[in-house]
Amino acid sequence: MSVSYLVEPLSAAKHRRNEFQCESPELTAFLRTRARKEMDARASACFVLVPEADPGRIAGYYTLSAATIGLSELPPALAKRFPRYPHLPATLLGRLARDSAFRGAGSYLLHSTRGEWAPQLSGFDSAANSGRR
């Protein structure tokens, strides 16, 4: 029987962060203690992968934040495809983790970072994160 998942913004009221446990203590601690604070500060956006049958349980998560790439850092063949601005806007995939209990969900989590989240970012003010990284 396959499990169906949803990807949604992290919610302190809905998602049980204390149940999340991955192989990395740092990534586990980040979700439990820092993810909401960074969202509130608009430093990053955190999206969680949840099973449809238990939408409060977090199977995995990833964070996105605004970033820039210096045009001079790109290979010349690629750089000439872009406008001649000194810096180009980008989205940084900062953290990506899967709960140890959801070993089969990793590929779905990774796939979900490839663009399905874009409409959900409409409320995320990237102008507040325009600092260069």
pTM above 0.75, yes or no: yes
CA distances from 114 to 18, 29, 33, 44, 90 (A): 27, 25, 26, 17, 13
Residue 110 has pLDDT above 50, yes or no: yes
CATH match of 5-114 with 3.40.630.30: yes
Q: What is the pLDDT of residue 7?
A: 92
Delimit the domains of the chain by residue range. Answer: 5-114
- Residue pLDDT, tens place only, 49-97: 999 999 999 999 999 999 999 999 999 998 899 888 899 999 999 999 9
Burial 23-41 (b: 16+ CB within 10 A, else e): eeeebbebbeeebbebbee
- At residue 65, φ and ψ (nearest 5 deg) are -145, 160
